[in-house]
Structure 1
Amino acid sequence: MDDSWVPIGANPLPKPPPLVPGVPEWLRPEVGQFLARSARRRPHWLVEYRLTRRNTVDYDELFEHVDMVDLVKALGEDESLNLVDFVLRFGDPQRQHVEELAHWLHIGGSMWRVGQRFGHPGLEQRVPTSVQNIADAAMDAPGGAGDLLADAWAAAFGVQPDPEVAYMKTVKAVEAAAVPLMYSDYKLATLGKVIKRLEDRKEWTLGFRLEGAGVDSGEMLLAMMRTIWRGHADRHGGQADYQPSSQSDAESAVLLATVLIQLITSGKVIQRDARDSDRP
């Protein structure tokens, strides 16, 4: 569907309208329908959700007597989002219903989308399409980097974010991408050792043709890795400078790592002498 469509007689929007948090009123019927379909398909997931959440809400009674249009209103937006996320993970929804939900959330302007979290469908915050495209490509990277980045993304942008897990997985994802490239024997190498190697040898670059003429992309790569490494303030406990990673820390680290991993795994990071062989 073309997102640029506007009603007849209306002025074209100068930019897309802002995304809406929670479940806006106009999306309640579709979200309620998704939940109801899943409840009919696997009735026991309502009990499982109540026990997992440790609450006393009688979801069976609620689903039986509340119209689907009003279901989300009765549950509340936060509870509805958690319920949808739980169903996507454990409720065994049919693929076509998951695809429909993803479509409705998208065209309804929700800030939530259906993504992959820890190998399963789940809700995550939407980011600009261009950023999401890069992230999707990086998450398809081989060698474990893509899977680790997907876990980091889920922990940073999911319904129940976990900044410390997000940051930890981010560091591991960068290691999984960079270490095999820069070390022939990488069994004990870490991101810290990669950074030290870049500092000492300065042998890796993005291969810009103007490299050396006021351009040093190797320094940029080094700066990106340093930023991620040094920003991981909760890497070790018992340290004087220990601080739990904040939500902002985690999101920034994941986004920076996404670009870095995509550069590495797509072959853009090369050794300086290899760059010369590519010149005409």
Structure 2
Amino acid sequence: MSDANDEWLPFSARRSEAGRQEFVRLSDGVPGWLRESLWKWLSEQMHKRALSNNRTWYTTPDEAKIRRAERILKISSGWTSSGESHPDRVSGLSKFRAVLYSNPESFLGAVDLALSELDPKAPQCAALETVLEEGASAWRVGRVSDRPGLVERIDATVQLAAETTGALEPRAGRLLADAWKHAFSMNRDPSAAYRCAVRAVEAAAAPVISPNDTIPTLGKMISAFRNKPEKWDFSFKVDSAADPKNVLLGMLQILWTNEYSRHVDPDIQAPLHVSQEEAESAIVLAVTLVNWFVSGSVSRHLPQSS
């Protein structure tokens, strides 16, 4: 939710800082205060227009959408009828709702599925975002594989930085978008998110550090930069407590060496996959590195002409 100073707050939130913090705290799942509003939105997406026997149009539950949601979400509503009549379809939708109300994860999955079938500019997307934001949901309307979808609601500044950086270079931008999807959508894969973050930096840094390498890897670029840092310029030049190029090198190394899921560690106690927290940190780091390389903050050193 917005945290502007002039934002209206309810009485309980204005009485104390603790009340304000409770009001703006994000909630995962489908809390009671969101359930009916979310269902109203979802129910509207689960209807279709039909022609009655007296040739007038009316809206009725769409049995095909109900069955598709059951298949994709792998849930059973217990609705066994064919859905040939309007009362039967209403009964089917009611049974579907009962299952969702007892399973918040499936409820969000159904919302995400219905959202994915809409045009990104459809007013229903904005309407859903209003519901989620006003209800302090941990989820918001975003993009997942170029379709509308539910993504984690994170700091707006980080979100804007990722979107702005992603627009600067097509390949790196697409990889950052994929990393974002794997890290913050409803279908999370932290290892895939980390891998895409590394590849995004490789795509952005290769033209600057290894333009002639046909198979550039971040590891090889780190070695090249470490061996001859004078071959590149960095926009930060003042050496105070730490040399700027060493800081840049350290950031590249942290990103590269912590993707331990690339190999199987002989230590049987070692984790096989990166954690969600590590993936999120890698993406934030990758956004900064990609921005530096594609914006020209890191560039090849051009000898001064005499």
Q: TM-score range by the shorter chain?
A: 0.7 to 0.9
Give, as a single letter, the amino acid of the residue that structure 2 aligns with 1:207. Answer: S
More RCO (CA 8 Å, sep 6+): 1
Structure 1 unmatched ranges of 5 or more: none
Secondary structure of 1:135's aligned partner: helix
CA RMSD in angstroms, aligned pairs only: 3.1
Aligned twin of 1:47 = 67
Q: 1:207 aligns with which of 235, 240, 247?
A: 235
Give the stretch that moved more between structures: 124-133 or 54-63: 54-63
- 1:122 offset after TM fit, Å? 1.3
Q: Does 1:57 align with 2:86?
A: no
Q: Does 2:128 correspond to 1:110? A: no
Q: Give secondary structure in 2 for the equivalent of 1:234.
A: helix
Q: 1:37–1:222: structure 2 CA closer, same or farther, 3 Å change rule?
A: same
Secondary structure at the counterpart of residue 214 of structure 2 = coil
Larger Rg: 2
Identify unmatched segments of 5+ residues in structure 2: 49-61, 80-88
Cα offset, 1:92, TM superposition: 6.3
Displacement, 1:206? 3.4
Report how many aligned residue pairs link the two structures: 272
Determine helix, strand or coil for the equivalent of 1:168: helix
What residue in structure 1 maps to residue 181 of structure 2?
A: 154
**1:254 equivalent in structure 2:** 283
Offset of residue 101 of structure 1:
0.8
1:34-86, Cα deviation, whole Å (9 max, x unpaired): 2112111465232122112333224766663379xx76972432111111112
- Superimposed CA distance per residue, residues 179-235 of structure 1 (whole angstroms, 9 cap, x where no aligned partner): 12222224211111111111111144532242x454422212211111111111111
Note the alpha carbon deviations across 1:101-130, whole angstroms, 9 max, x for none: 112212321111111122221111111122
Percent of aligned pairs sharing the same letter: 31
Measure the CA separation in 1 of the matches of 2:91 and 2:201.
46
User: Would the alpha carbon gap of residues 143 and 186 (structure 1) be closer, same or farther in structure 2, given more than 3 Å must change?
Assistant: farther
2: distance between equivalents of 1:235 and 1:110? 34
Structure 2 counterpart of 1:31? 38
Q: Which moved more, 1:37-46 or 1:217-226?
A: 37-46
Q: Tell me the distance in 2 between the aligned counterparts of 1:101 and 1:249.
A: 30
Residue 71 to residue 217, structure 1, CA distance change in 2 (3 Å): farther
Query: Is the Cα–Cα contact under 8 Å of residues 143 and 177 in structure 1 kept in the other structure?
Result: no
